[in-house]
Structure 1
């Protein structure tokens, strides 16, 4: 028996709301990690503290919730190799973001991350890789991914244009002082 369309719509709405919230707070993570990394001797030290705090929180929740220690319903050897790489992927994401976000900003970084996630998710769904249900890459889905790619290009070009056309801070101060003098002279 397949789920009703109303049930699917409800779950989709819940997923979008939670996804927007999770994505929103996720935007803060590289800035927090970047600040931590700024005062550590190595970016991996900041990653270690970041994952350590997450581990501590999950450990407390599982102990308080009475679901500790972790147990598998099958032997570890029965799981596919890729079931064990989630933490390693997190290390790549956290460490690269804490190094790059302070240099390029949050918007270009997250636009690129989100587009990379969406592009690979399109393929994961289309081919049913990594245990995903098979959902064909329809033309509308492909257009959505192409629009994300164009969005990343627009963000990167805007950042490049804004940084290459901006005046040094001292020039801004001089220009503002000149405008203030011109306005004062005009008012006299």
Structure 2
């Protein structure tokens, strides 16, 4: 039970970090007059921070055999989606506000996650679609509509 609470807390903190970095980096994008430049800077510095953490934690190195067994598309597609998603956050936050952006983004994330889980794509655990999940998505869409509805 404590492990589940820790995992939930870390997931909530990760979500909060995404909202904070989106707000900060969209401001950077506005000041640079280029959301794409802000994304590029964010990814370069994120890479430096991640690589530094690997060195500090003395993580095991990757062997050539391991590199050769990984399908080519896995080296690039995640980064492509990440660059698109982050760049869109930086572009859209000043246009629609962070609350609206995060509500729409959360909706997209949950719907895609349910599809991925239902089919067990990417070797993730299969979590079949259920009426409860469908009702949850309907409620989510209604909630997103309420968050973004203005008279």
TM-score, normalisation: structure 1:
0.72
Q: Following superposition of structure 1 onto structure 2, how do residues 16-165 of structure 1 map, counting pairs within 5 Å?
A: 16-67=8-59, 70-71=62-63, 74-76=66-68, 78-79=70-71, 81-82=73-74, 84-158=76-150, 161=151
**What runs of 5+ residues in structure 1 fail to find an aligned partner?**
1-8, 162-188
Q: Which moved more, 1:138-147 or 1:71-80?
A: 71-80
Computing the radius of gyration over CA atoms, which structure comes out larger, 1 or 2?
1
Aligned CA RMSD, in angstroms, stands at: 2.1
Using CA pairs under 8 Å that are at least 6 residues apart, name the structure with larger relative contact order, 1 or 2: 2
Aligned-partner Cα distance in 1 for 2:75–2:143: 32
Q: TM-score, normalised by structure 2?
A: 0.88
Can you give the 5+ residue segments of structure 2 that lack an aligned partner in the other structure? none
